[in-house]
Amino acid sequence: MVRGSHGGGGLSAPPQSPAVPVPVVIGGDIGAYALLRAFHDRYDARGVVVSRLESRAFARTRIADVRIADVENADALVESLVALAHEREGERLVLLSNADWYVESIIAARERLEPLYEIPMCSLEAFERVSSKEAFQADCEALGIPVPQTVPVRFVDGQPAPDGELDSLTYPVIGKASSSAEHHYAEYQGKKKVQHLVSRAEVDDLLARIAGSGFAGTYLLQEFIPGDETQMRSLTAYRDARGTVTMICTGRVLLEEHTPGTLGIPAAILTEPYTDAMDAMERYLERVDYRGFANADYKRDPRTGEHVFFEVNPRIGRNNWYATCAGADPAEHVMADLDGEERQQLRATREVLYSVVPLRLLTRYLLDKDLRTRVVRAAKRGIARPLHNPADASPRRRAVIALLTLNYRRKYKKHYPEATATGH
C-alpha cells in the first residue's frame, strides 16, 4: 500500500526520550513536510519545522511544532537554532533542510551548531563544489558522465561577461544560475528558476536584467535536450560518513511545476530504476567526497539514448516522498549513519506513482498513451501524496490540503494550459 493517500494544531509535545530523534527541518515546503513525515512514520518522532511563516503544507499539523524565524537572514537563523536547542536541551536534535541557501547557512555555522545538533551534511568545500554547476560540469566530464554544452556568463562591473561564444549556442537554450543559493537573493523582473530562451535577443535581454539586479554570481546558458518533461529524470541518494551511498532511487518525471518560482520542480514522478544513472551518481559523490542527501536532475537524450546530467543539489529534494514510498526511507538512512551503523547500498526499485496534483490533471498532460496507461494502472495501487497523511488528518487540515491540491488546476490553466512537445 502506498503511504500517503489521506491526509492539527501547533501544540507543543512533551519532551521525547533522548533515544528518539527530533528532526529539525529548515523550510516549510512539501519536501520538508515529507522528510518530517518519514521520521514520524519510522520513529514516532514529533519534529520541528523552522520557517518564515506557517505554510499551508504545515497547516494544523500534528507531526511537528512550527517555529517562526527570519530564516532568510543567516545570522538570525543561526540564533534561532541556538535558542531552540537550549529550549530542548537533553533531546536528540537532528538538523536537516531542503533548500540550498539554508544548507549553506547551517554548514557555514557548523562550529557553533554542531555541539547542539547532529548535522548529517557535507563539508562547506563539498557544498560549494556541488552547488556550482560549472564545477559539476567539469567533474562529470572528468568521469565521462554526459552533460549538455554550456556557456557560463559572469558579471563584471555590472556587465555580463560570457566565458565562451554566445553565437555558438543552438536555440532554444536553457538559462539558470550556477548556484541556486546565490540566485535566491537576486531580484529582477521576470525572474524564474529556469528560463527557456528561443533567440539571442531573449538571451541579451535576460542577461541585462540580471546584471541590473547586482547579481555577482555565474549564470549558465545550456543546450536544450529535446523532449518534453516526461524525458526528465530524478535521482535521490544518501552517502554516509563511511563513504557508502546507502540509498539511491530514480524516477521518471511525468509533469513539472510551471509557476515562475517553481518552474522545473517535479509535480509527479513514476519510479523507474536506471542503473546507469545510479552508477554515475555513486562515482560522482565519491569524487567530491560528499556526505548527506543529494538530488540530481538529468534527462534522456532521444538522439543518443544517453542520460544527460544537468545538476546535483546538496539536499534531498522537494519530491523526496517518492523515494520513501519506493522503499528508500530517508529517516532510517540518516539515523543509521549517525549511529555509525554499517549498511550496504539499497537501490529502490518498487514502482510507485508520486504526485501532488490531481490524477485527472496529470493524465491530461501525458501525450504518450502507453505511459498514460501505466500511470493509471499505478494509480489504482495508490498514489504517493506526501501531504495526505493518515496520522495528520484533522478535518480542518484535510480541507486545507484538498484546496491546495485542487489549486493546481488554476495554476496549470494560467501557466501551462496545454501539453507541448517541449514542456514549455
Element (H, E) at 239: strand 232-239
171 pairs with which residues across the strands?
A: none
d(CA 156, CA 179): 17
47 pairs with which residues across the strands?
A: 64
Q: How many CB atoms lie within 10 A of CB 34?
A: 30
CATH number of 21-129: 3.40.50.20
Q: How many CB atoms lie within 10 A of CB 133?
A: 23
pLDDT of residue 18: 54
Query: Cα separations (Å) of 30 from 68, 73, 161, 318, 408?
Result: 17, 22, 37, 6, 14
d(CA 320, CA 25): 14
Instruction: Pinpoint the residues of the chain covered by CATH 3.30.1490.
Output: 149-223
**What are the CB-based long-range contacts (under 8 Å, 24+) for 199-207?**
199/171, 200/166, 200/167, 200/171, 203/166, 203/169, 203/173, 203/175, 206/175, 207/153, 207/160
222 pairs with which residues across the strands?
A: 150, 174
d(CA 61, CA 109): 29
Instruction: Pinpoint the residues of the chain covered by CATH 3.40.50.20.
Output: 21-129
Instruction: Provide the total of helices (H) and of strands (E) in the chain, helices listed first.
Output: 14, 17
User: What is 229-415's CATH topology?
Assistant: D-amino Acid Aminotransferase; Chain A, domain 1 (3.30.470)
Rounded to 5 degrees, φ, ψ at 359 are -60, -45
d(CA 424, CA 415): 10
d(CA 421, CA 226): 9
The answer to whether the CB of 298 falls within 8 A of the CB of 308 is: yes
pLDDT of residue 25: 98
Q: How many CB atoms lie within 10 A of CB 313?
A: 20
What the block records as the C-alpha cell of 259 is: 509557476
d(CA 366, CA 253): 11
The rounded radius of gyration (Å) of the Cα atoms in the chain is 21
Task: Give me the residue label for grid cell 504518450.
Answer: 368
pLDDT tens per residue, the chain (424 residues)? 455 543 333 334 444 545 799 999 999 999 999 999 999 999 999 999 999 999 999 999 999 999 999 999 999 999 999 999 999 999 999 999 999 999 999 999 999 999 999 999 999 999 999 998 889 999 999 999 999 988 989 998 888 988 888 888 888 999 988 887 788 888 999 998 889 899 999 999 999 999 999 998 889 999 999 999 999 999 999 999 999 999 999 999 999 999 887 778 999 999 999 999 999 999 999 999 999 999 999 999 999 999 999 999 999 999 999 999 999 999 999 999 999 999 999 999 999 999 999 999 999 999 999 999 999 999 999 999 999 999 999 999 999 999 999 999 999 999 999 988 777 7
CATH number of 149-223: 3.30.1490
| Predicted model pTM | 0.88
Nearest Cα to 80, choosing from 8, 24, 23?
Answer: 24
What the block records as the C-alpha cell of 368 is: 504518450
d(CA 336, CA 325): 18
Write out the DSSP string of 256-279: E--STTTTT-EEEEEE---HHHHH
Would you tell me the crossing angle of helices 74-87 and 100-108 to the nearest 10 degrees?
Answer: 70
Q: Show the DSSP H helices in 179-320 as ranges.
A: 180-183, 200-212, 275-287
d(CA 391, CA 398): 11
Helix (H, G, I), strand (E, B) or coil at 124: helix
Q: Which residues contact 180 (CB under 8 A, 6 or more apart)?
A: 100, 101, 131, 193, 313
Instruction: Pinpoint the residues of the chain covered by CATH 3.30.470.20.
Output: 229-415
